[in-house]
Amino acid sequence: MNRRAFLFASLAASAAGTARAANPLQVVYVGGQDCPPCRRWSATYRDKWLASPEYRQVVWTEVEPPHLAEAYQERHWPEALRPVLAQVPRKSGTPRFLIVDNGRIVSNEMGVTKWLNTMAELRKLLGEQAS
């Protein structure tokens, strides 16, 4: 890669990171590496999600410890998201999809099929932000 292309790529990555950091919306995936429904979600939806325009507009965090029984243990959550963990009403069940707006859970869905509900809610919230 020549110097000009490298500089352009660096600037583009920096601008994208800044835009994502400015957005207060976060999507948190809670799973477990030994969770069959989590693997099904990943096989069905993960790649499409990572390639989606919505993904590029939010902060995405995966909480995926080795065992699903550990998914709600504080030690597996980034320190900045521990206040979000405290808001989760029932700390069991995976995969879980949380939408967090300015530190507050605004959507809490659990189960592979509930991903579609999460996406619908996320599109609505992103549309409201754009207005």
Q: pLDDT, tens digit, for every residue of 89-116?
A: 999 999 999 999 999 999 999 999 999 9
Higher pLDDT, 77 or 19: 77
Q: What percent of the chain has pLDDT over 70?
A: 82
Question: Hey, is 69 helix, strand or coil?
Answer: helix
In tens, the pLDDT along 25-35 reads: 999 999 999 99
CATH fold for the domain made of 24-130: Glutaredoxin (3.40.30)
Helix (H) or strand (E) holding 104: strand 104-110
pTM of the model: 0.81
pLDDT of residue 128: 85
Residue with tokens 């992103």: 126
Residues in contact with 27: Cβ distance below 8 Å, sequence separation at least 6, in sequence order:
58, 59, 60, 61, 97, 98, 99, 100, 118, 122
